[in-house]
Amino acid sequence: MGAISTLFVILGMDFVTKKWVQAKLPMNCKKEVVKNRLYFWHIKNNGVAYNKCSGKRKEILLFTGGLLAYYSGLFFQSLQGKKSRKYAIPLALVLGGGYGNFLERARKGEVTDFLFVPVKGRNTPIFNLADVAVWIGAACLTIVSLGEK
């Protein structure tokens, strides 16, 4: 699968899973998926991780919009061969997830989160597929950039 396809698949999966959660799981409802390991827990997050910066929608949109513009530029440079093509798929993951959350936040003022993985003794966040794509993409970008040095 190409980088552009990857970006749109992530964006589509994020949209579909959020719609599914909104339709099937009442707000603040928690359902165990894998015993003591994975839960679907429907919440709304109007901040960022751990609901930080809650109520600062405009600032979050400006900051994330700037990051998305910057990474979009890198993505297109990679596709055109001006940057290493090794960056294209990781950037597609970051952008697919980033745009998924950005668009929902711009439309609704909040993001649907629903994946919860408890870790004993820690306050772990509730997140969504967009967040997973961003983290995986960022990790891959780090690995690729370290491999070039």
Q: Is 121 exposed, middle or buried (0-12, 13-18, 19+ CB in 10 A)?
A: exposed
Q: Which residues pair with 45 in a beta bridge?
A: 111
Q: Which residues pair with 112 in a beta bridge?
A: 44
> Which of these is catalytic: 111, 131, 134, 141?
131
Active site residue 14: no
Residues 6+ positions from 133 with CB-CB distance below 8 Å? 10, 14, 93, 94, 96, 97, 100
Catalytic residue among 113, 116, 126, 129: 113
Query: Looking at the annotation, which residues are catalytic?
Result: 113, 131
